[in-house]
Amino acid sequence: MLGISSVADVPIDSIIKGSSSSVYYYTDGFRYLFPSEKIFNSWFADYKDLVIVSDETLSALPLKSSVTYRPGVRLIKTLSSAKVYSIDTGGVLRWIQGEVIAEAVYGSDWNKKIDDVPEIFLTSYDEGDPISEPTTFVPERAWEAAPTINQELGIQVSEHTPRATTPFEFFGFPSSDRASQPFAFAQPAATSTPTTLHPTGATSTPSITASTTPTQAPSGTSPATPAIPLPGDGSAATPAVPATPLSLTPTTTPTSTPPIVDTVAPVISGVATSDVTTSSATVGWTTDEASDSLVEYGLTTAYGTQVSSMTLVTSHSLTMSDLTASTIYHFRIKSKDGADNTAATSDYEVMTTTVTQTVSPPQFVLKWGSRGTGNGQFVDPFDVAVDGSGNVYVADTTNRRIQKFDASGNFLTKWGTQGTGDGQFGYPAGIEVDASGNVYVADQTNHRIQKFDANGNYLMQFGSNGTGNGQFNYTYDNAVDSGGNIYVTDASNNRVQKFNASGEFVLTFGSYGTSDGQFYRPGGLAVDASGNVYVADYNHRVQKFDSSGNFLMKIGNGVSGSSDGQLSYPEDVDVDSSGTVYVLDSGNYRVQVFSSSGGFLTKWGSRCYLELNEGCVGGGSGQFLQPDGIDIDSSGNIYVADTSNQRIQKFR
């Protein structure tokens, strides 16, 4: 295939191609790619005006952009959304708000005019005002406003500019003269393909999947045109719209017709999980052409594990194995066809089932406290911490003080008054004790951390109100690692900040949101022996990070629930010396226990409003009302601040 060998000889406003399968429109010194056959067919009915140019000439013509659908001709939608769009002039997408409007604008067979396109396809278009009334958009006016590609691109029209095919003739609009047209096109058949599993963050299910299949051309007509895939000559282009290549019977010499080359990736749909157990889950999906199968999976979107099959099929099924019970796993699908075109999905999640409870819950040991201002009394005890000698420190929040007790609940000392001075508190919230016995208090409404010795003598403080590094907007809790680094939950700034032992800022992580590593009012936190940080998140989950703030995993699926492994507004978390995780599932009035990998182990607790004797059994031992704080000593004793019942409970 030689073709035109000089740029000067390439006709202005022409359809051109080189030796590859890509087809372009040439005008104003630039070439514009037709990303798919469907887009080409919205402008032209055949390739009779195709001009062959040499590859050297083609390379000398700069590629400027892609040709978009002709306005008013077709409807489009993506596989990940139920929204159907009409295309207005200037490459503007307009969402059709309802089937009644679609039928009024495009006729009763409107759903046969839909092309399914990849999500990335929409990046070539702008989104305009939705079509909320049939009178706000008239397809005929849209395509009449763009009779040529030049006019749609905003380029001057010459006498040689080819006019587009009339949509009435080729795209299903009423016409009494259809039978006389020289080409016959198969209409897309609308099929309903419900998706049973949505990508992360998806909120709707595709309602229509349009597919194009070749049909036999009527006698006396020319055959359908070939598919136009992405360029194979190395030039940049937007991704092609998936289409089934059509066969071509040449009516001219072989060099005048584009060769059919498959460079279109498979279309993945119908993603679903089944046979989910404590240790495995099967993923199924379909493709529109025979392809291989691969699933990447792991605790984060970095995945790290994969399972695959090289057999080319259209119905796929693979099993993810060696999973942990009650744990959320991320997974992504890839399928590659015989021409090495690969499709990949966005991220999905699946949660494994819960192991039948085999671990006995801790037993109630003792309790102390009542409402009041005297020694050993509380008004909203918010948090509890234990030192290496077994002494118990309680943040007596509304009394604006810290109280210290021995392991049996006997009062030892107290310190603090209301105020903003050193050793005074707005509302003392989270409390922590380091390996040296120093006590750290999150002074919530004073937006700071204060440090004391074991007897309550003031040592230092850091923090002020604000959003900058080292500033806080309501300090909620703090935790100290083995190196003396201090982690603080900065609740209303939706982040965690890390400081060295001197209170100097080190780093911050987190922001508002529901994605991994984001927070909605982060609460209690804890650091394990390896330096990993666990954060209670009001998104109904506990998130685990490394010491640099990199997300590792989460406990809870982000939806409020009361089943084993589900959480409802968790307030605090702690980790014992073996790595077992204890979560104060405050909205469910209970404590849940998990393995270090997030597998559910056991639970205890129920609702008891002690002052009204509401729901309480046997004095309410082991029951809770808005528990806010939990801590575990070196011997495995568990202390819970039963906040609204004005007491501390101890379990073992």
Strand runs labelled E in 525-615: 525-527, 533-537, 541-545, 551-555, 572-575, 581-585, 590-594, 600-604
Give CATH for domain 75-143: 3.30.2390
Whole-number Å distance between alpha carbons of 542 and 281: 23
Tell me, what amino acid is at 301?
T
pTM of the predicted structure, to 2 decimals: 0.57
Point out the least confidently predicted range of 57-61, 258-262, 540-544.
258-262
If you average pLDDT over residues 130-155, what whole number do you get? 83
- Supply the pLDDT for residue 208: 32
Q: Is the pLDDT of residue 72 over 50?
A: yes
Tell me the C-alpha distance between 597 and 579, whole Å: 9
- Does residue 109 or residue 306 have the better pLDDT? 306
Rounded to 5°, the CA angle 346-192-35 comes to 55
Structure tokens given for 320: 């993810």
Q: Chain-centre distance of CA 574, in angstroms? A: 28
For 361-409, give the DSSP string.
Answer: PPPEEEEE--BSSSTT-BSSEEEEEE-TT--EEEEETTTTEEEEE-TT-
The encoded tokens of residue 53 equal 């140019």
- Band the pLDDT of 158: cuts 50, 70, 90: low
Kindly report the backbone phi and psi dihedral angles of residue 515, in degrees, each rounded to the nearest multiple of 5, phi listed first.
Answer: -75, 165
- pLDDT tens per residue, range 347-403: 999 999 887 666 899 999 999 999 999 999 999 999 999 999 999 999 999 999 999
Domain boundaries, the chain: 7-66, 75-143, 268-352, 364-651
Mean pLDDT along residues 280-292: 96
CA dist 541 and 519 (Å) reads: 10
Q: How confident is the model at residue 2 (pLDDT cuts 50, 70, 90)?
A: low
pLDDT at 258 over 50: yes
Q: Which residue has the higher pLDDT, 413 or 144?
A: 413
How much of the chain exceeds pLDDT 70, in percent? 82
Span 152-159, mean pLDDT?
72
Task: Write out the E strands in 397-447.
Answer: 401-405, 411-415, 428-433, 439-443
Q: What is the pLDDT of residue 217?
A: 39
Per the CB < 8 A criterion, the answer to whether 523 and 571 are in contact is yes
Q: Encode pLDDT of 441-500 as tens digits.
A: 999 999 999 999 999 999 999 999 999 999 999 999 999 999 999 999 999 999 999 999
CATH number for 364-651: choose from 2.120.10.30, 1.10.10.60, 1.10.1370.40, 2.60.40.10.
2.120.10.30
pLDDT at position 483 is 97
- The domain made up of 268-352 has a fold known as Immunoglobulin-like (2.60.40)
Q: What is the pLDDT of residue 79?
A: 67
Q: State how far the Cα of 322 lies from the Cα of 328, in Å rounded to an integer.
A: 13
C-beta separation of 251 from 222 below 8 A: yes
Q: Is 40 exposed, middle or buried (0-12, 13-18, 19+ CB in 10 A)?
A: buried
Question: Cβ contacts of residue 153 below 8 Å, gap of 6+?
Answer: 27, 32, 67
Tokens 């002494």 locate to 391
Q: What is the pLDDT of residues 297-351, one digit of tens each?
A: 999 999 999 999 999 999 999 999 999 888 999 999 999 998 899 999 999 999 9
Question: CATH number of the domain at 7-66, out of 2.60.40, 1.10.357, 3.30.2390, 3.30.70?
Answer: 3.30.2390
pLDDT above 60 for 189: no
Residues 6+ apart with CB under 8 A from 516: 300, 301, 543, 551, 554
Mean predicted lDDT score pLDDT of the chain: 85
pLDDT of residue 110 exceeding 90? no
The highest-confidence range among 9-18, 233-242, 409-418, by mean pLDDT, is 409-418
What is the number of alpha carbons within 13 Å of residue 427 lying toward its C-beta? 14
Decide whether 7-66 matches 75-143 in CATH topology: yes
Residue whose pair of structure tokens reads 């230092």 in the numeric block: 460
Report whether 122 contacts 129 (CB < 8 A): no
Band (125; pLDDT cuts 50, 70, 90): confident
Ranking 122-136, 161-175, 242-256 by mean pLDDT, the lowest is: 242-256
C-alpha span between 13 and 29 (Å, rounded): 10
